[in-house]
Chain A
Amino acid sequence: MDKSNFNKLHVYWNPYFGGFLLGLLIIFTFYMTGRGLGASGVMKSGVVTMVDQVSHEHTIKNAYYSKFVSGDKSPMNNWLVFETLGVLVGAFISGSLAGRIGFRVQHSPKITVKRRLVFALLGGVLFGLGAQIARGCTSGAALSGMAVLSTGGFITMLSIFGTAFLFAYLFRKNWI
């Protein structure tokens, strides 16, 4: 890949412009639906659906799964699932326009692909667990919470970024 082409791939929007549009989108979402955006909810729906397929009895007995399975309505019939289908398409369109589509593992040249994937898996496990405890992730709890001045949203945001800063030193080899 020649240098000029490589640089073009990494030209992103001005962050303030992106943030401004994202803010307008959050206003629109609240104006339409009375709720904010979300992201981790779809993965919860996915897990509940899969476990339900394996053993329906198990999901009804479990105090957590049973909150999300009700009679004949599938857990996948959910606002966040439809929103996420949109996210996938929207991100794909943006990536296509900028020429960023392609199967690859992005990692620092100082670490191996295997190390990157192991840390991605572990990071995901922790994030999934934490998002359930806090009832939402950076989108649903922190960002949408902050839009309506939710105290819990602000606490979650401070806790996520504060802890990430505290632990950044331990993981520095992965990034810098």
Chain B
Amino acid sequence: MGPLIPNGFLSYEWNIIIAVLIGLAFGFILEASGFSSSRKLAGVFYGYDFAVLKVFFTAALVSVIGLYYMDYLGWINMSMLYVHPTYLWGAIIGGAIMGIGFVAGGFCPGTSICAVAIGKLDAWVYVIGIMIGILIFSEAFPIFEKIYNGYYLGNITLVDSFELPASWIILAVTLLALVAFFVSDIVRKRVKKVFY
């Protein structure tokens, strides 16, 4: 029966209310996990705090396992879910630029919104920066257009890319994450503690 709104079980007006409630939970979870602190977030790149890695990968695993289980049980129709499209070089180059922005600024957009909410002035400046970045992209769109629209592979999943069953891929991702969690704890013990 799911997803509920696209299948018409709930009217479109509910979408707005649900959006606010989902946002509320999203903001609360991120802030309570320490994602309003740029120094905690940046810890993952220097080995003194792996909260980003742990929260991010746990969330990804729980959601992908849960969604595929619900699909198996017939509670949700996976084929109706929005799959982020793959524009190969857009993802690689855009991701690389975001990566430098992340380690320079210490936030990503979602975490900066949380930090704005609790009064971190560096996050306010960061959000202004994001808006300037969007403005630059939009005004210079013809320069980026080729990479933005090119190398389009469709709304593909790893199931299509590797031609393996979803269960194998999910198992592989889970094992990789467990190894990463294990290694991160070892690394953290060896790295000099940073107090922030």
The answer to whether B91 touches A141 (Cβ under 8 A) is yes
B18 close to chain A: CB less than 8 A: yes
Interface residues on chain B, size class: 35 or more
The answer to whether B55 touches A156 (Cβ under 8 A) is no
A107 to B125, CA, bound (A): 13
Q: Is the interface of B mostly helix, strand, loop or mixed?
A: helix
The answer to whether A18 touches B130 (Cβ under 8 A) is no
Interface residues on chain A, size class: 35 or more
Complex contacts, A30 vs chain B, CB 8 Å: 2-3, 63, 67, 76, 81
Most buried by A among B40, B145, B158: B158
CB < 8 Å neighbour of A128 from B137, B153, B158: B137
Complex contacts, B137 vs chain A, CB 8 Å: 64, 128-129, 132-133
CB < 8 Å neighbour of A101 from B24, B29, B60, B118: B118
The answer to whether B25 touches A151 (Cβ under 8 A) is no
Complex contacts, B86 vs chain A, CB 8 Å: 150-152, 155
Q: Is the interface of A mostly helix, strand, loop or mixed?
A: helix
For the complex with contacts A19-B56, A32-B18, 14 further pairs of A-B residues with Cβ separation under 8 Å are A12-B33, A16-B54, A19-B54, A26-B62, A31-B2, A34-B3, A90-B24, A91-B113, A120-B38, A128-B101, A148-B84, A151-B158, A163-B97, A165-B45
Q: List residues of A (136-176) whose CB comes within 8 Å of B's CBs.
A: 136-141, 143-168, 171-172, 174-176
* A27-B70, A123-B126, A164-B45 known; A131-B153 Cβ under 8 A: no
Complex contacts, B80 vs chain A, CB 8 Å: 34
Name the residue on A nearest B49 (C-beta).
Answer: A15
Q: List residues of B (88-142) whose CB comes within 8 Å of A's CBs.
A: 88, 90-110, 112-123, 125-139, 141-142
A117 to B123, CA, bound (A): 9
Nearest CB in chain A: distance from B56 CB, A: 7
Complex contacts, A29 vs chain B, CB 8 Å: 22
* A27-B66, A82-B16 known; A123-B102 Cβ under 8 A: yes
Binary contact track A27-59/B, C-beta < 8 Å → 1, others 0: 111111111110110111011100100000000
The answer to whether B97 touches A120 (Cβ under 8 A) is no
A104 to B130, CA, bound (A): 20
Q: List residues of A (85-137) whose CB comes within 8 Å of B's CBs.
A: 85-95, 98, 100-108, 116-117, 119-137
